[in-house]
Amino acid sequence: MKKYKKDFSNKDFADYYIKRHKKIIEKLGYDYAKKLASMGFKRGKILDAGCGFGGMDIVLVKRIPGCEIIGIDLSDPLLEYANSCVSNTNLENRLKFKKCDVRNIPFKDNTFDVVFSVNMFHSVNEPIIMLNEIERVLKPNGYLFIKDLRRSWFGILESEVKSAFTLNEAKKLIEQSKLKKGTFSKSILWWNFEICQM
């Protein structure tokens, strides 16, 4: 397997990342669309903080016709790919990708009904600053879904898992932020933090 420098601004690494993660990220899009539907969410504004190549958002925007999604990220090659998937399609009006930092989100307080941060908590420097920004832009009754890889024995096989947080480490950081109380859970690969009153 060819080795790439793990740098999302590097086009070769970004292409490798997309190829390797497309299916799993799209599957997360289907799962979240189902979850939002079961909660009765039909319309509103969604922010994907650290959207990468936008694979999850493309599924969500197709599945929830009343929603509008903004994906933000700092990676030029991933954003370029994301934009190429929606430009000149009928999704363009409801799904936009912007280059910006999740630690300085360029939207007013209480803008979003739903915020996602998926598979990126371990990538961001100063995650507490990101969490406080998410809290600021999320509406008071909004839904929040944070999901990230969970460091475990599986890290022996997978370097991305090795660089991730354990659930307890993530919990400590989240509890230091301004986010409201939510629910923590874990599976073999992931930990989750969710604020969603069902």
Which residues contact ligand SAM by CB under 6 A? 8, 21, 25, 50-52, 72-75, 78, 101-103, 118-120, 123-124
Minimum Å distance from CB 68 to ligand SAM? Answer: 18
Closer residue to ligand SAM (CB): 73 or 198: 73
Q: How far apart are CA 156 and CA 143, in angstroms?
A: 34
Tally DSSP H helices, then E strands, for the chain. Answer: 6, 7
Q: Which residue has the tokens 């958002």?
A: 57
Considering the complex, what minimum distance in angstroms separates the CB of residue 60 from ligand SAM?
A: 12
Q: Which residue is nearest to ligand SAM (CB)?
A: 52
Based on CB atoms, which residue is closest to ligand SAM, 20 or 34?
Answer: 20
Closer Cβ to ligand SAM, 9 or 141, answer by number = 9
Q: Pseudo-torsion of CA 44, 60, 142, 45, nearest 10°?
A: -30
Q: How far apart are CA 195 and CA 113, in angstroms?
A: 11
Residue number with CB closer to ligand SAM (141 or 163): 163
CB of 78 to ligand SAM, least distance (A): 5
Dist. CA 117–CA 177, nearest whole Å: 15
- Least spacing, CB of residue 135 vs ligand SAM, in Å: 16
Cα angle 75-80-16, degrees, rounded to a multiple of 5: 70
| Torsion sign across C-alpha atoms 136, 47, 9, 166 | positive
H or E element in which residue 183 lies: strand 183-186
When the beta carbons of 23 and 181 are compared against ligand SAM, the nearer one is: 23
Q: CB 51 → ligand SAM: shortest distance, Å?
A: 6
